[in-house]
Structure formats: structure tokens, C-alpha cells
Amino acid sequence: MEPIPASGPEGATGAIIRLFAVTKAYGKENALSGISLSILPGELVFFTGPSGAGKSTLLRLLYRAEEASSGQILVMNRNISRVPRNRLWEIRRRIGVVFQDFSLIPTRTVFDNVALPLFAAGRDREFIRKKVSVLLRNAGLEKRAKSYPQSLSGGEQQRVAVARAICTDPDIILADEPTASLDPEAAGQVMEAILSQHRKGATVLIATHDRRLYEGLDARVEHLTRGSIQETEQNPSQEARPFPDR
């Protein structure tokens, strides 16, 4: 496959994520049909739409948890379908992922759950101890470091998951219905934790069916229906920021 030119079908340059006519089929059904879009560094983008619209699938394609059936996906200027499997970590370490079901390891403490990506990245113990302490303090969880996930509320568990997702200071954060099972107060705290990363310069993509998550925010909202983008709402005050130098 030929390299994708710097200026693609949308004429955009400097994008951190770009999709060109991306389709994902499961059997005969298309979960996504011909999606093209560009996301600039530092953007906050919500993908919304009814259940089954393709929101999760779209996020999963971006860190290659799934492979596109056709089309091309550039993440940080790499055509991710061409990245060898044993080098996927180079992209994934720059992406933090938050799932609906928290995905914490039940047999590990809160501290260990947050520290996992840092261990995987080969950071030394002292660095990890300091970094995780700061993250847990910021999340209001400093007293929970030695607890196990089951003993935490849903909101606390999701804040642990967010701390884990951001511990490597990723350039991109993908959150799939991050507040789905939470009460409004816990949902607000989890959203605040994610949005604080956006304010620090991270590019943040959030899939949700809940419009309350983006109402009143400076954000772009992509409305998906049956695997296609039906409408794009762009808050005019939203400005792309320079690619964070991290």
C-alpha cells in the first residue's frame, strides 16, 4: 500500500488522528461504513449516537484492538494497519484507554493497577512510587492505594482506571462510555479527571450515548448512526493546540 500523502482527502494537515474511508464489517454487517475524519492535536471530540451506532468500534480501531476491513487509519502519522504486531506498543504506549467496565485487575491493589503501564514501560521503582502517589492524590484516592478494586465504589474504580490510563502522560486518551454505570456525582468526577488531561494538551476522544457529558463543553461532537457520521457539531470557540512536546 502506498504511503498516505501529507494532505489527505480532507486537505487537513498536522492531524494526530486521520481516518480515510474506514469500514469495519462483522460478517455481512458493517459496524462502520466509510468514515473519514481528521482530529487535531489537543482536540476534545465526543462520538455520540444510539447503541450499536459504531462508537466503540471506532475507538477500538484506533489502538488496533480491531482491524479495519478497508480504508486507512493514521495515528500520530503511522498507518496503524502496517505497524508490525511486535511494534504496536510504540503506538499504544502513547494512548491511554478508559473502558466502561473499568477493566481493573481484581487480584492487584489500586497502586499496582495504576502502576502497571509504568512497569511495562520499564520505569524504575522510585519513579513509579512517586508518580502513582501523585496520581492517586489527584484522584482523591491516596488512602486507597493498598485496597483491592472490589472494595471501591464504581466511581472510585473508574478514577483508578483513569489514573492508570494517564500515568504515562499519553498524547491520546480514548474513553468508551466512561461514566455509563456511575451516579451523576461520580460521573462528574470521572469526567473532570479526563478533561483535566485535555486541558494539559492531550487529545481526548470520548464515546457516549449521553449528551449531558458534552453539553456546555468546548468540544466537537460527531453524531454516528448505523456506522456513519450523520452530523458534526463544532463549538466555535474550540481551538486546536500545538502538539504537546512530551
Query: 153: closest CA among 140, 138, 166, 165?
Result: 140
**Does residue 28 bind ligand ADP (CB under 6 A)?**
no
Query: 173: closest CA among 22, 29, 44?
Result: 44
Helix (H, G, I), strand (E, B) or coil at 142: helix
Distance CA 216, CA 180 (A): 19
Of 53, 68, 152, 205, which lies in the binding site for ligand ADP, with binding defined by CB under 6 A?
53
Of 52, 154, 188, 201, which lies in the binding site for ligand ADP, with binding defined by CB under 6 A?
52
Q: Which residues pair with 82 in a beta bridge?
A: none
**Does residue 31 bind ligand ADP (CB under 6 A)?**
yes
Q: How far apart are CB 87 and ligand ADP at their closest, in Å?
A: 24
**Does residue 86 bind ligand ADP (CB under 6 A)?**
no
Cβ-based neighbour number of residue 125 at 10 Å: 10
Q: What are the backbone dihedrals phi and psi of residue 206, each rounded to the nearest 5 degrees, phi first?
A: -125, 125
Report how many residues bind ligand ADP under the rule CB under 6 A: 11
**Does residue 26 bind ligand ADP (CB under 6 A)?**
yes
Q: How far apart are CB 48 and ligand ADP at their closest, in Å?
A: 9
Residues that bind ligand ADP (CB under 6 A): 26, 31, 49, 51-57, 207
